[in-house]
Amino acid sequence: MDYSLYLVTDRSLLPEGQVRRESVNQALVGGATVVQIREKKADTGGGKQFLEVAQQSKSLCDLYGVHLIINDHVDIALAVGAAGVHLGQSDMPIDIARKLMPTGTVIGISCNTVEEVRRAREANADYVGLGAVWDTQTKKLDKSPIGVRGLSDMLDALDGSDVRAVAIGGIKTTNLARLMHGSVSPTNRMLDGVAIVSDIVASPDPKKAAQTLKSIFSACRQSTLLPLARQPLRSRETILDKALEIMNAVRKLNPLVHQVCIEFLPHTFNFEVRLSKITNTVVSTQSANVTLAMGASPIMATAPEEMADLANISAALLINIGTLQSETLKGMLKAGHCANSARIPIVLDPVGVGASAFRKDSVNKLLDIWHPTVIKGNAGELAALAGSNEATSKGVDSQGQLQNPVQFVRDFARKERCVVALTGEIDFISDGVRVFALKNGDPLLARVTGSGCMLGSCIASYCAAANLLTKAGDFLSATIGAILMMTIASELAAKRATVNGPATFVPALIDEVAALGAESIMERARIEQIE
Ligand SMILES: Cc1ncc(COP(=O)(O)OP(=O)(O)O)c(N)n1
Ligand SMILES: Cc1nc(C(=O)O)sc1CCOP(=O)(O)O
């Protein structure tokens, strides 16, 4: 059975003038591969109305050779000879339904937790409906949405089984790509399909809606699978060559890098807000200057209204949550969504994410809407994001150590499906398969504010150039190159006769970034491929 575009019906959502049968017919023409009859209003008609709807739908699906599934009602599935039934957690147990239905009947069950997926697997379900992924207007949810990032553990629980998986809840043409990118298990198990109600049923053009959903699904399924396993190990020279190519490309192409890291002027001026504003203005000036020194071009903007325009002219987006406010969060949500649509890389710098519930909830919201290309953070920040308490945050600084940073960074990159840079005395960078350790950098970097934020700007600029160089940008090399550039520049800056401490160090650092040559990088890079 092809689960890829799984239509779930709901008459109450039909636009005015649309009739149920024609809506399903259009969805089938548009490419729906399974139809589930879920008619909650007809449910109350003593079963007769539901039966009629099911009979009509069966003949329609037969015309297209598409399987029909009945929601909840085993008797109706039997009566119309449906291919299967979909059961909820509080409906008839799978083993009883199996006894009642003919051999070969498809039985699916809704799951909201990993435990429910395990039980479904043990009960020999044919497929699971994982949801709700996002909030939905179609029904009142009795459990919180699981979010895209909750799906990979559920898919992992199906590893080694034949149980198929579809996601449901709030899925639309506008967020399907994010869903597909994020819902892959560590062993590369993906969704077999997406179950959609309102985006098709409530659409004025159900055929077009189905076509669009199906083409996004197919394109994402083909391109989502990590090409990681095929990536060869690389020698120090190969990776440095690539990093230098990207460094030169930044200087030559002068990519525009959109950086969402300064806040609106606060409406109320209390002492704390002013402090964070002052700190961040300093940091954003430095970030903008280092971007220019590298040869890229910064634009700092936060207003949601201009995000779509900026995504079309920028070559990369940097999201830095250093001075997060509710208003900026809206801009960040929109900016990331537009950047994903425009296929430009996004670098996420989750500054101090472990410091407050607001920051953590906000980053989770962001990552539920768009996917980053690179996440860069210190041990405390990345541990907070990964749900580990091995390291913690003291404000924006990190406390404690990760016991096994190599494994951590690899697993986290694999889970988030992006490049992860774990910064510290040794920087670890991984794409989920390979792990590199970089040992450059002067201790003065840790003694000035905003060096981490400047590094975020460097990574974003390098990712921009990597993306401009080739369609499938080499973001691992871009991240490594940017860190090498910044850390080696810091070593050279610290040696300058004019540098007497942190205050004189920052301008010297920016000068060194501007002047850095290939020879210094080749000569000084302390890089090791660990895995
Ligand atoms: C594919 C798919 N997944 C989940 C559901 C939800 O079913 P259930 O839990 O039975 O809730 P109701 O549909 O009865 O509201 C589904 N129908 N299809
Ligand atoms: C029927 C249903 N079941 C869900 C679950 O979480 O089990 S969510 C849902 C409704 C999905 O509708 P839409 O595509 O319009 O968001």
Residue keyed to tokens 């460094």: 247
Here the CATH number for the domain that contains residue 43 is 3.20.20.70
Percent of the chain clearing pLDDT 90 (strictly above) = 72
Residue 229 inside a domain? The answer is no
Q: Which of 155-164, 196-205, 273-282, 365-374 has the lowest mean pLDDT?
A: 273-282
Backbone angles phi, psi at 375, to 5 degrees: -115, 125
The answer for residues whose C-beta is within 8 angstroms of residue 284's C-beta and 6 or more apart is 259, 261, 262, 300, 453
Catalytic residue among 61, 261, 338, 453: 453
Residues 266 and 218 in one domain: no
Best mutation site among 37, 86, 107 for ligand 1 pocket (most ligand atoms within 8 Å of CB) = 86
Residue 161 inside a domain? The answer is yes
Tell me what pLDDT residue 297 has: 86
Tell how far the Cα of 107 is from the centroid of ligand 2, in angstroms. 18
The residue whose CA is least distant from atom 1 of ligand 2 is 139
Backbone angles phi, psi at 99, to 5 degrees: -65, -35
Best mutation site among 110, 127, 128 for ligand 1 pocket (most ligand atoms within 8 Å of CB) = 110
Residues 269 and 415 in one domain: yes
Tell how far the Cα of 416 is from the centroid of ligand 1, in angstroms. 28
pLDDT in tens, 237-249: 888 999 999 999 9
83 DSSP 8-state letter:
S
Residues 138 and 263 in one domain: no
CA angle at 90 for the pair 89 and 91, rounded to the nearest 5°: 95
The residue whose CA is least distant from atom 6 of ligand 2 is 132
The boundaries of the domain holding residue 292 are 236-529
Rounded CA separation 193/79 (Å): 27
The number of the ligand 2 atom at minimal distance from the alpha carbon of 202 is 15
Residue 13 inside a domain? The answer is yes
Q: Which of 73-87, 311-325, 454-468 has the lowest mean pLDDT?
A: 311-325
Tell how far the Cα of 352 is from the centroid of ligand 2, in angstroms. 35
Position 93 confidence tier, pLDDT thresholds 50, 70, 90: very high
Return the bridge partners of 470, or none.
none
Position 395 confidence tier, pLDDT thresholds 50, 70, 90: low
Token pair in block for residue 3: 């689960």
Residue 61 inside a domain? The answer is yes
Nearest ligand, CA of residue 12? 2
Residue 230 inside a domain? The answer is no
- Neighbour-count burial of 402, counting CB atoms closer than 10 A to its CB (0-12 exposed, 13-18 middle, 19+ buried): buried
Percent of the chain clearing pLDDT 70 (strictly above) = 91
Q: What average pLDDT score do residues 374-397 get?
A: 83
Tell me what pLDDT residue 44 has: 57
Instruction: Kindly indicate whether the ipTM for this predicted assembly is greater than 0.90, answering yes or no.
Output: yes
Best mutation site among 168, 199, 213 for ligand 2 pocket (most ligand atoms within 8 Å of CB) = 168
Nearest ligand, CA of residue 171? 2
> Which of 224, 247, 274 finishes a domain?
224
Query: Which DSSP helix (H) or strand (E) runs through 261?
Result: none
Residue 356 has pLDDT above 60, yes or no: yes
Is the distance from CB of 148 to CB of 179 less than 8 angstroms?
A: yes
The residue whose CA is least distant from atom 5 of ligand 1 is 110
Nearest ligand, CA of residue 34? 1
Residue 261 has pLDDT above 70, yes or no: no
Tell how far the Cα of 81 is from the centroid of ligand 2, in angstroms. 25
Tell me what pLDDT residue 267 has: 30
Tell how far the Cα of 94 is from the centroid of ligand 2, in angstroms. 20
Residues 105 and 24 in one domain: yes
Tell how far the Cα of 355 is from the centroid of ligand 1, in angstroms. 38
Is the distance from CB of 345 to CB of 318 less than 8 angstroms?
A: no
Residues 195 and 333 in one domain: no
Residue 281 has pLDDT above 60, yes or no: no
Tell how far the Cα of 196 is from the centroid of ligand 2, in angstroms. 7
Tell me what pLDDT residue 398 has: 64
The residue whose CA is least distant from atom 6 of ligand 1 is 110
Token pair in block for residue 123: 């009960």
Best mutation site among 8, 36, 70, 130 for ligand 2 pocket (most ligand atoms within 8 Å of CB) = 8
Rounded CA separation 156/418 (Å): 18
Residues 259 and 177 in one domain: no
Position 268 confidence tier, pLDDT thresholds 50, 70, 90: very low
Residue 136 inside a domain? The answer is yes
Tell me if residue 453 is catalytic: yes
The residue whose CA is least distant from atom 16 of ligand 2 is 170
Tell how far the Cα of 139 is from the centroid of ligand 1, in angstroms. 10
Tell me what pLDDT residue 266 has: 30
The residue whose CA is least distant from atom 7 of ligand 1 is 88
Position 47 confidence tier, pLDDT thresholds 50, 70, 90: low
The number of the ligand 2 atom at minimal distance from the alpha carbon of 134 is 16
* Residues near ligand 2 (Cβ within 6 A): 8, 110, 129, 131-132, 136, 138-139, 168-171, 196-199
Residues 31 and 179 in one domain: yes
* pTM metric for this prediction: 0.87
Residue keyed to tokens 């101090």: 352
Residues 341 and 451 in one domain: yes
Residue 174 inside a domain? The answer is yes
Tell me what pLDDT residue 116 has: 98
> Which of 190, 224, 258 finishes a domain?
224
Here the CATH number for the domain that contains residue 441 is 3.40.1190.20
Rounded CA separation 98/85 (Å): 10
Position 45 confidence tier, pLDDT thresholds 50, 70, 90: low
Q: What average pLDDT score do residues 110-126 get?
A: 98
Nearest to 83 by CA among 121, 57, 117, 120: 57
According to DSSP, the β-strands at 346-349 and 374-378 are: parallel
> Which of 193, 224, 255 finishes a domain?
224
For the chain, the domain total comes to: 2
Radius of gyration of the chain (CA): 26
Position 284 confidence tier, pLDDT thresholds 50, 70, 90: confident
Q: If you average pLDDT over every residue of the chain, what do you get? A: 89
Q: What average pLDDT score do residues 318-341 get?
A: 87
Residues 220 and 240 in one domain: no
Residues 200 and 247 in one domain: no
The number of the ligand 2 atom at minimal distance from the alpha carbon of 141 is 6
* Residues near ligand 1 (Cβ within 6 A): 6, 8, 36, 38, 71-72, 86, 88, 91, 108, 110, 129, 131, 139, 166, 168, 195
Position 82 confidence tier, pLDDT thresholds 50, 70, 90: very high
Residues 250 and 202 in one domain: no
Residues 340 and 452 in one domain: yes
